[in-house]
Structure 1
Amino acid sequence: MNAKELRGKDQEALQKELNELLKAQFGLRMQIATQQLSNTSQLKKVRRDIARVKTVMNSKEA
């Protein structure tokens, strides 16, 4: 996911995307805690995607 795609979405779609990413982040954190996650770089990707969505949301508000 890149910022160009996110800028084309409205505020409601961005909020939905943010909620999905937060759920995914929670699931990955639980997998790390139970030592079931083998590819830990997924957590970093999700964190960056969350930051991208929040950045686009804040820029649309201004």
Structure 2
Amino acid sequence: MKTTELRQKDVAGLQAEVKELQKAHFGLRMQKATQQLNNTDALRLARRDIARAKTILVEKQATGQSAK
């Protein structure tokens, strides 16, 4: 997900997005553990997406934007 798309969301939307990304990352980790994951690069991309969303979430919380 691009940062411009994430910046348009409010705090509640970002929190939901982080949870969704974490679920997807968990699924990828389980696929890797059972050796069903062919594209291991997806794990790295998922981690970076989570970090990107969390960074923007913290920025919005620091500026005082509330969940509306």
Report the TM-score when normalising by structure 1.
0.95
Q: What are the residue-to-residue correspondences of 1:10-25 with 2, within 5 Å?
A: 10-25=10-25
Kindly, what percent of the aligned residue pairs are identical?
A: 60
TM-align CA RMSD = 0.6
| Stretches of structure 1 lacking an aligned partner (at least 5 in a row) | none
Structure 1 runs of 4+ aligned residues shifted over 4 Å read none
Deviation at 1:19, TM superposition (A): 0.6
Q: How many residues align?
A: 62
Gaps of 5+ in 2: 63-68
**TM-score normalized by the length of structure 2:** 0.87
Greater C-alpha Rg: 2
